[in-house]
Amino acid sequence: MVVMRTFWCKDRPTLEDISMAYELVKMDDIAVSIEWFIPYNGRHQRIITRKTLDKYPTPEKFFEESIPHCYGV
């Protein structure tokens, strides 16, 4: 089991939000949950762990490939 910290974004997560999550995972070996809500689309969540850092070695890569940039209505 691992400690998880949860963060709520007022809008879609920014690259700075993802970078902060990466730093927390690297420093404290915890899991970070990032959640946000898009009107007429719903609630979204991404969980960043050590495995995430292996799959997406940089926050930029995670941001581009895992965070939706367009939302349906």
pLDDT on residue 48: 98
Average pLDDT value for residue range 3-26: 96
pLDDT on residue 43: 95
Q: State which residues form the domain around 46.
A: 4-66
Asked if the structure places residue 47 within a domain, the reply is yes
Asked if the structure places residue 72 within a domain, the reply is no
Average pLDDT value for residue range 6-13: 95
| pLDDT per position as a tens digit, 15-61 | 999 999 999 999 988 999 999 999 989 999 999 999 999 999 999 99
Asked if the structure places residue 71 within a domain, the reply is no
Indicate the number of domains in the chain.
1
Asked if the structure places residue 51 within a domain, the reply is yes
CA–CA dist 66, 24 (Å, integer): 18
CA–CA dist 44, 67 (Å, integer): 9
Asked if the structure places residue 73 within a domain, the reply is no
Residue 63 — pLDDT band, cuts 50, 70, 90?
Answer: very high
Asked if the structure places residue 28 within a domain, the reply is yes
Task: Name every residue whose Cβ is closer than 8 Å to that of residue 53 and which is 6 or more positions away in sequence.
Answer: 22, 25, 26
